[in-house]
Structure 1
């Protein structure tokens, strides 16, 4: 579990993170969203002890990262896929990490196979494409078989097959009871991958909720209705207090559920050809809730 309590970070007169508190729980994929400059990368760096907070603290299973006895066995992270000596092979890079963290050498070939790099394990990492570098970074994060994983934009440079693979990997890790915390700008991917969302803007918490709760709170649900008796139905809906937009034989109805509309139609003897709930998207909800936080503020 990751606990962030009253976390703050200032660079001179600029506040990157301000009084930020949230909890990332095990057994689920938690997405970390926010506009550019919102403080996501800074927050992740403070969780990992790479930046010192100006205020507050971040704990991993109750302990600051700097005090972990075997950090790679507790926490795996991908923050920068290019953080690797360009003249080292993928295998040598992982062997170096394993040796310096007292991990069994056999673990290297296990993670190379897990991320699909066995065939290029002896090639220099400096010649890797961005997608291959991402896979090597993920292998590094998995090397210690950690309970907590942090990924910053893990699908950068991956093709559609690779994106589907990392999605399945993260969800699989969460099913094993691990804590998975992932930052991404790809909202469509987060809608398919994350169970919970933490959204920040201008360094402050905007929302922490499940994906469905986040979308429901920030978007309007409507129902698409088609009927050969659309005029009669529309009058009944308006009388009931619903908002109605008409396009020929189709109505878009707000303020009533599909069940309520179906019952109302039945009560008025109206035949329905379509009764289709229209859910808001994660993108719509995100754009609405972060609209005031796009420009990064200073203080």
Structure 2
């Protein structure tokens, strides 16, 4: 389990992390999301003892990282895929990590196989693509078979097959009862991977909840309904105070908000209106994220319409 309480970090006048408290439970993948500059990487560095908090604390299974005897056996992390001596081979890099934590040498070949790098294990890490470097970093995180894992942007540089692989790997690790904290800007991928979210902005906690609850509360859902009696259906719904719009992508189709499929279907049936389609469109994690964090974006573009009209 990972626990932060009142975690705060200042760099001179800049408050990077502001009284941040959350708990990462075992058995689930928790997405760590927020706008650029929100403090995600700084928080992860403080959890791993790489940065000292100005105040507050971060604990791993109830202990600071610095108090762990063989840390790789408790927590594994990928923060920077290129943090490898370029002239070392993948195998020698992992052997060095294994020796530093008194791990069996045989474990190196196991994790190389697990991440798909066996064929290039003796190549210099400096020749690796970003995707291969990500896999090597993940191998290092898995080396001690830890119960807690932190990944910062783990799918950077991976092809679609690699993205599916890391998604399945994280789910598998959580299914084994491990705590998995993953930071990513790819929100559609987070929606497929994380069952829980910790959302921060400008170093502060915005919310911690299940992914489904976050989307339901912050994004707008709608009902798509298609009927050959569109005008009659629209009148029936509007008489009940339900908001109705013509769908931009199809004839005989309405987009209905402020209700659910059950009410639309019941009203149509009562009025004798034939329906050819009745489907719920749920809001996306991306929509929910933009709605919740819009005021916490540090770097925002100017007025796009103004740029378009001026030709700039």
Short-chain TM bin: over 0.9
Structure 1 runs of 4+ with >3 Å offset = none
Which deviates further from its counterpart, 205-214 or 71-80? 205-214
State the distance in 2 between where 1:246 and 1:92 align: 62
Structure 2 residues without counterparts, runs of 5 or longer = 300-312
Residue matched to 1:231: 231
TM normalised by structure 2 equals 0.93
In the alignment, structure 1 residue 288 sits paired with structure 2 residue 295: no
State the distance in 2 between where 1:96 and 1:157 align: 25
State the distance in 2 between where 1:88 and 1:31 align: 32
What RMSD, in angstroms, separates the aligned Cα atoms of the two structures? 0.9
State the distance in 2 between where 1:163 and 1:256 align: 36
5 Å-filtered alignment, 1:113-124, equals 113-124=113-124
Structure 1 residues without counterparts, runs of 5 or longer = none
5 Å-filtered alignment, 1:253-292, equals 253-292=256-295
CA deviation profile, 1:178-198 (whole Å, cap 9, x unmatched): 000000011111111111111
In the alignment, structure 1 residue 252 sits paired with structure 2 residue 252: no
What is the total number of aligned residue pairs between the two structures? 296
State the distance in 2 between where 1:127 and 1:220 align: 46
How far the C-alpha of 1:229 sits from its partner, in A, is: 1.5
In the alignment, structure 1 residue 25 sits paired with structure 2 residue 25: yes
CA deviation profile, 1:24-77 (whole Å, cap 9, x unmatched): 111110001111110000000000011011111111111111111221100000
In the alignment, structure 1 residue 84 sits paired with structure 2 residue 87: no
Residue matched to 1:4: 4
5 Å-filtered alignment, 1:80-229, equals 80-229=80-229
3-state DSSP class of the match of 2:31?
strand
CA deviation profile, 1:202-247 (whole Å, cap 9, x unmatched): 0001121111111111111110111111222211111212111124
State the distance in 2 between where 1:79 and 1:229 align: 57
3-state DSSP class of the match of 1:58?
strand
TM normalised by structure 1 equals 0.97
3-state DSSP class of the match of 2:84?
coil
Which deviates further from its counterpart, 63-72 or 105-114? 63-72
How far the C-alpha of 1:261 sits from its partner, in A, is: 0.7
State the distance in 1 between where 2:134 and 2:11 align: 29
Which deviates further from its counterpart, 226-235 or 143-152? 226-235
Contact persistence 1:241–1:255 (CA under 8 A): no
3-state DSSP class of the match of 1:290?
helix
